[in-house]
Amino acid sequence: MFTFGKSKPDASLSALEALRKAHYSLSSLPDAIRIPAMPGHDEIAAKPISEATIDDLAFAMRGLEAEFNDVADKMQALRKLSQIARDAGGLGADRAVDLAARIQSER
């Protein structure tokens, strides 16, 4: 007789794997989180997500938000420098800082 489907049942999924599989928006959950240092507490470099409390998640999100904001600030500054250099007539191989500085000194 032929058997259809899998011959062996799936191994049971961990709670984290089951969440990732059941909720598309949770598929990017990390295995571990970093909890930044706070007054009176050391940084926790890698705490397994399966052991994280709700407060741990909140503190980890604050740390990630600070990193995200730093990256966004750098991106915006690069975008602005690029625009200033282009507005000054710069071309792709020109040095952006030199062009922007020259424009500022001419004002």
CA distance 61 to 63: 5
pLDDT in tens, 49-97: 999 999 999 999 999 999 999 999 999 999 999 999 999 999 999 999 9
Domain boundaries, the chain: 15-106
Task: Look up residue 70 and give its amino acid.
Answer: D
Reduce the DSSP state of residue 103 to 3 states and report it. Answer: helix
The pLDDT value given to residue 44: 86
8 Å CB contact between 81 and 96: yes
CA distance 5 to 105: 74
The pLDDT value given to residue 73: 98
CA distance 11 to 8: 9
pLDDT in tens, 28-37: 999 999 999 8
